[in-house]
Structure 1
């Protein structure tokens, strides 16, 4: 069961990422990425979360392990918690949803700051592959343009 959920959530994410990178930035593709991608992944995550923590869904823990101790908030406790198929797929879906949301924000921010789509693509791919690294690099690159844009606006309005 968990392998199927893993395949489905990855399919949702990849379809949304493909649309984000290659489709025109018009209302329908952006809504698809937000609701059909991020929203659907969040719904999958919520269903898995409730199922696992209400003990309705079998987490399929590694053989011979006792149930995870949810009160052990430490590296060892998290390592033990993630020794199940359900927890791994839950955690992976968490990454997929938040990385896709981050990619959507980057794309919208880059559009607003006048970055061409070809320039945006590497940041989006890096965010897909290594979410926080892609976001960090984007923030470093956008800062200069954001400051220049803000300063130009100040000069045009005469504000201080």
Structure 2
């Protein structure tokens, strides 16, 4: 399998989804496309790759993955297939968190100019971006229960 090509396609596709999330109007249709066409498609790509990779049906360059030891995970992530599938995993979950942040920030009336840097942190540093948003959100509404509902 051409892991460089898979990596490039997934990476560029995710970047396109992030640009749409950051700059496009947040209409229902756009948000649905981001959810299913962005996150859903990345998650499907991950599933299509990880299952045959784990069973040895395709060669990821690192042997059959062993998630039970640090050495096994290092071996997997040190291989072209493992690094690619790991990156797709990050892309899907970070986009999911970014979508939640954007919807929740809209709900609480945060301006787009304030959301964009936080979304950049979510894209680049995942959990740190989420923490920054939660701290910002706390300035407007400190009820934890409301944080789980992105409406």
Which residue of structure 2 aligns with residue 91 of structure 1?
86
C-alpha contact (below 8 Å) 1:107/1:120 kept by paired residues = yes
Larger Rg: 1
Which residue of structure 2 aligns with residue 143 of structure 1?
138
Unaligned runs of 5+ in 2: 146-151
Deviations 1:51-76 (A, max 9, x none): 20121111123xxxxx35626x2322
Q: Are residues 68 and 7 of structure 1, via their aligned partners in 2, closer, same or farther at CA, if it must alter by over 3 Å?
A: same
Which residue of structure 1 aligns with residue 32 of structure 2?
31
Please report the RMSD computed on the Cα atoms of aligned residues, expressed in angstroms.
1.7
The alignment's TM-score, normalised by the length of structure 2, stands at 0.88
Distance, in Å, in 1 between the alignment partners of 2:65 and 2:16 is: 36
Distance, in Å, in 2 between the alignment partners of 1:56 and 1:77 is: 18
Distance, in Å, in 2 between the alignment partners of 1:68 and 1:40 is: 25
Distance, in Å, in 2 between the alignment partners of 1:40 and 1:68 is: 25
Deviations 1:129-153 (A, max 9, x none): 11111001111110121228x9xxx
C-alpha contact (below 8 Å) 2:95/2:123 kept by paired residues = yes
Distance, in Å, in 1 between the alignment partners of 2:54 and 2:70 is: 19
Which residue of structure 1 aligns with residue 45 of structure 2?
44
- Residue 104, structure 1, aligned to residue 105, structure 2: no
C-alpha deviation, 1:86, in angstroms: 0.7
